[in-house]
């Protein structure tokens, strides 16, 4: 199955309710600092919304909840990899995406045969403090050469204007957060994203 090239990330199912009807086909639910009950409710609601709209839902971090909810995808950061039960994830049939930022992380991730690799931040990002300032487009090209057929996700500081360059550099998918969530008209911005990535 080919994943869509536009990959927004949202922190609540309310965003999915708004954006899936516009044609979003691949979305990540990234929930931080919520109770387990709230997490499980959000995952269940998002799963149902994505099924209704024929979209792929990727659950960030909460791999056990994703298994329990019968989801299809989970995304893990490097710290999450330390604690996650990869055997249980695979046994449940979940596909796995993983974040990478440097050579060591990429080597580690390629050994576990993920279903996509994310590289970030391609550009400076306001979303979270990282020791990596920005990777730049040449790194995107290098990563694509190294991951081969695996889908490569570019993330970090993404905008509609930057997306074409990131795809040309070798990314298969562009992931975005604040360019949509902080936009005064998120729906219009999503339409622009769909246009530029398809």
Q: How much is the pLDDT for 134?
A: 87
- CA distances for 115 relative to 20, 95, 148, angstroms: 23, 6, 12
Closest CA to 132 of 142, 141, 143, 123: 123
* Contact between 194 and 164 (Cβ < 8 Å): no
In the predicted structure, residue 127 carries a pLDDT above the cut 70 = no
- Determine the Cα–Cα distance for residues 171 and 164; give it in Å rounded to an integer: 10
pTM of the predicted protein model: 0.96
Question: Picking from 59-63, 64-68, 126-130, which range would have the lowest pLDDT averaged per residue?
Answer: 126-130
pLDDT tens for 151-184 read 999 999 999 999 999 999 999 999 999 999 999 9
How far is Cα of residue 165 from the mean position of the Cα atoms in its chain?
Answer: 19
Domains of the chain: which residue ranges? 6-197
- Fold of the domain spanning 6-197: TIM Barrel (3.20.20)
Q: How much is the pLDDT for 27?
A: 98
């Amino acid at each position: 199955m080919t994943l869509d090239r536009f990959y927004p990330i949202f922190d609540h199912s309310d965003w999915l309710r708004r954006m899936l009807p516009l044609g979003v086909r691949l979305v990540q639910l990234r929930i931080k600092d919520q109770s387990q009950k709230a997490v499980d409710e959000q995952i269940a609601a998002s799963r149902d919304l994505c099924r209704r709209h024929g979209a792929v839902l990727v659950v960030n971090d909460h791999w056990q909840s994703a298994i329990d909810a019968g989801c299809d995808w989970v995304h893990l950061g490097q710290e999450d990899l330390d604690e996650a039960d990869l055997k249980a994830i695979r046994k449940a049939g979940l596909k796995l995406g993983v974040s990478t930022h440097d050579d060591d992380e990429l080597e580690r991730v390629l050994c576990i045969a993920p279903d996509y690799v994310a590289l970030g931040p391609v550009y400076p990002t306001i979303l979270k403090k990282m020791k990596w300032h920005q990777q730049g487009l040449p790194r995107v090209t290098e990563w694509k050469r190294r991951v081969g057929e695996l889908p490569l996700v570019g993330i970090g500081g993404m905008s509609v204007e930057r997306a074409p360059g990131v795809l040309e550099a070798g990314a298969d998918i562009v992931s975005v957060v604040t360019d949509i969530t902080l936009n005064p008209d998120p729906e219009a911005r999503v339409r622009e994203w769909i246009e530029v990535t398809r």
